[in-house]
Structure 1
Amino acid sequence: MQNVEVSTGELEQDPHAALAAMRTAGPVAWVESLGAWVVTTREMAMRVMRDPETFTVDDPRFSTAQVVGPSMLSLDHADHARHRDPFEAPFGLAQTRERFTAFVEAETDRLVSAIEPLGRADLRRAVAGPLSVAVVADSLGLPGTDPATVLDWYDAISASVTGVSAGCPVTAAGGEAFDLLYAHVAKAIATGKVDSSLVAHAAQAGLDTDAVVANAAVLMFGGIETTEGMITNALWHLLTNQDQLELVRADPELLANAIEESLRLEPAAATVDRYATRDVELGGATIRQGDLVTVSLAGANRDPAVFPSPDSYDVRRPNARRHLAFASGPHICLGMHLARLEAQTALRHLLTRLPDLRLDPSGPSPAPHGLVFRKPRTIPALWSHPSPHRPKP
């Protein structure tokens, strides 16, 4: 058994050197600071995520379920399918493009237009965050849930989930926010005052109110946290790799792959947790029933057996889309098509409409940070004042 001594602080700041060292010694290692087996190769990560019989999310320790109740995120097998299936069709590729493209384009245009004349802004706070919140608010389709309301709920619920993960009880603010979300959803379902939203679709598909609310909370959390991280991480990679940025400017068709390569290098969700349902041998490690098994998506995405020069940001990397940033198996990210739509739209507008876009050298360091969810705290950016006649994308 490989035991690794690494602090959570080191993993929060920059986990990649430690993950590389673990991977060199073996695909699975025990990390005492996490109280978990950590999986660092792509092959083993796929094996764990695609085997819910052996590695499950359905465990009382799962923090999100303690705050919002059982949902597609914390259930497996038939119960998982019952919760997830009503949301599958609305989040398909064609349906996502049809339902969300016009809204995402309009909202991105509004946000970029607001900062365009300024010449400087924190692109996380001004564009990435507000866009992800607005899309979630629109997708929920509930009366009274404007972006500010959704953001308030998200902040309180996500803080409570984070606290539970650290061994703290559910916070009063988190409980109150969930109660408010529950009240809005229950009232909308009871009165029929929902549009063609995800909530309406799930209710019509037969999910009871408890299940609809729990899954709405999960979608709210995932839709805001990981999409904001996806956009800000892609901005950080491009703005700190001038040669790669110039390649994208010269050939805009590379933008989609540039975002995939950013997802590979720095997935917004760096880890996913599973719990062993039985004693099992995995990658040379003896895992006991009930043990926590943490799949490092960040580690798997830099597996040199799959990705040559894994620490390099290469917008032309031919297999960038083999990353596991959206996980794999039955719990693969439901909203990955929507997240890609938002990221590609945001990056296209920003790179096209803000001439000479660059990081503000006087601002704080924007390097990604976080143990589970990784993104820059800020993207302080500068650009030249655009021509008033510059065409929009």
Structure 2
Amino acid sequence: MSPVDTFPLGASTTLAELAHDPHPRLARLRADEPVSWLPELGGWLVTRRDLALSVMRDSETYTVDDPRFSTAQVVGPSMLSLDGAEHARHREPFAAPFRPRAVREGFASFIERETERLIGALEPEGACELRRAFAGPLAVAVVTEALGLAGATTETVLTWYDAIVRAVSDITAGLAAGPAGDAAYAELRAAVEATVADKDATSLLLTAAGRLTVPEVASNAAVLMFGGIETTEAMITNALLHLLQDPEQLALVRADVELLDGAIEESLRLEPGAAVVDRYATRDTDLGPATIRRGDLVTVSLAGANRDPDVFPDPDRFDVRRANARLQLGFAHGPHHCIAAHLARLETRIALQRLLERLPALRLDPAHPTAPYGLVFRKPPTLHVLWDGGGLGA
């Protein structure tokens, strides 16, 4: 019997459905076909949390090191697309600034200043599209500061990022990527080369160049850059959307700012910025109800795992007091757990706290309804908000 006959739910699942409104379909798959063959994906989709963890923890059986890996097709081999000793060699030169204490000591003041600057520019207006006017520029500023990338403006970096993410998403969806992704990466690589060439400067890129080749530094800078922008931009916009469309939960956070951390974790659980991660089977193996063949694509649905009712009761509810929200897998798990997760959390917390403090009666603009969208990377395409004039100030 073919996989199409064995997994009828997977056979009827479309990528368009998973991009627009995936959660009802993911719930059905998780309950009845927790590892399912999706013909439109050309691979397996894993939606149950325990099975998702087993895949992400086992890099010997489920690897990222495959020519089909979409990100590597755009930016070349990096810590994101290598496993084992090569993965460690690429990752370790970048790790130190992203450890918890280093993040607090190295970035908190910069994030606070940049957040205040961006909000100060918006405050008199009373309305804006917050994703591109605030969340994106903040994420770009922080990741550019973290890498020490010289001479790149926020708008230029956002242009690179948009093109690279679009190319990765197209390849994941089985489409041919246009030339924009390659062109953007070539410009980013040139900026990295110029940064590394300045031996008098101090930057993470220059430090990494002492242990990696310049092309390797550029590939890893690209994944750190668009990963850092994507993760944080999505975290800020998704969390604000969840809070602003739920007055009861927003009131709880306004009454007790310590609940903001729970709100961020809960938003990551409900709508992780990266909805899926890809792996490739290195050998024949069994996973749940499925027999995986060597070479098969195995896509882990972080969005599906994060709503597993066996772990998260009432999984579709946004609950800022949820006791186990940090069990969410929005930063992946195992060897490829997001290297900058602590920085993304700090950035999002500062951003949300200052927005709620400085923009009175911050609310969604009813003239511009929105919802998260995306097959691979999920966030609202726009987030139009309103607030009352005369902010509280710094």
CA contact (8 A) 2:235 2:268 kept: yes
1:69 — aligned with what? 76
TM-score normalised over the length of structure 2: 0.95
Name the aligned partner's letter for residue 200 of structure 1: L
Partner residue, 1:378: 382
Give the match's secondary structure for 2:311. Answer: coil
What amino acid maps onto 2:328 in structure 1? H
Provide the C-alpha distance between the structure 1 equivalents of 2:375 and 2:200, rounded to a whole number of angstroms: 40
Alignment of structure 1 residues 1-393 onto 2, 5 Å: 1-3=6-8, 4=10, 5-195=12-202, 197-204=203-210, 206-363=211-368, 365-387=369-391, 390-392=392-394
**TM-score, length-normalised on structure 1?**
0.95
Letter paired with 2:166:
A
Q: Are the counterparts in 2 of residues 153 and 177 from structure 1 also a CA contact under 8 Å?
A: yes
Q: State whether residues 169 and 375 of structure 2, in contact with CA within 8 Å, keep that contact through their aligned partners in structure 1.
A: no
Q: 1:192-248 CA distances to partner (integer Å, 9 max, x unpaired)? A: 1532x32122113x1111110000000111011121011100000001111000010
Q: State the distance in 2 between where 1:91 and 1:163 align.
A: 30
Give the SS at the match of 2:299.
strand
Q: Which 5+ residue runs of structure 1 have no aligned equivalent?
A: none
8 Å CA contact 2:79–2:220 kept in 1: the answer is yes
Task: Tell me, yes or no, if the aligned pair for 1:143 and 1:194 is still in contact at 8 Å.
Answer: no
Instruction: Report deviation, 1:69.
Output: 0.8
Judge conservation of contact 1:353–1:386 (CA < 8 Å) in 2: no
Distance of 1:35 and 1:148 partners within structure 2 = 36
> Could you tell me how far apart the structure 2 residues matched to 1:361 and 1:188 are?
45
Alpha-carbon distance in structure 2 between the residues aligned to 1:140 and 1:146: 14
Q: CA deviation at 1:379?
A: 1.1
2: CA distance between counterparts of 1:163 and 1:40? 22
**CA shift for structure 1 position 391:** 4.7
Deviation per CA, 1:160-203, whole angstroms, max 9, x where unpaired? 323333445554332222222222222332331532x3212211
Task: Give the 3-state SS of the residue equivalent to 2:321 in structure 1.
Answer: coil
User: Distance in 2 between the 1:371 and 1:73 partners?
Assistant: 19
Q: Any conservation in 2 of the 1:142–1:193 contact (CA below 8 Å)?
A: no
Q: What is the distance in 2 between the residues matched to 1:202 and 1:108?
A: 28
Q: Is the 8 A contact 1:369 1:375 kept in 2?
A: yes
